Amino acid sequence: MYPGSVRQYLAKIGRRGGQRSRRHLDSETARKMVRLREAKRAFRTFYTECFWSYDPNYKVTQNDIVWVGQQLMKHGGRRAWQAGAKLCH
């Protein structure tokens, strides 16, 4: 079906997918990554409620985490406020 080289390549990448990640992060960096992911998710989730005047394709960065939290707490309902409080602390 596939030529030998393609079959070997697919077998090789298939094996790598099941292996444990080789990335080594210190706990502080891992926490920052989680906070950024939560801020991005909150921006998308509460876009129509709190961020409707901003570009829907805006890329939330590490510097925007507190701002996202403040906007959620200022303009959102209870769920948005709770998400913003998590980001601000």
pLDDT (0 to 100) of residue 31: 92
Report the pLDDT value the prediction gives residue 9, as an integer from 0 to 100: 83
- The pLDDT score that the predictor gives to residue 16 is 66
What string of pLDDT tens digits covers the 89 residues of the chain? 556 788 888 878 777 666 666 677 888 999 999 999 999 999 999 999 999 999 999 999 999 999 999 999 999 999 999 999 999 98
The pLDDT of residue 24 is 79
- Rounded to an integer, what distance in angstroms lies between the CA atom of residue 84 and that of residue 70? 6
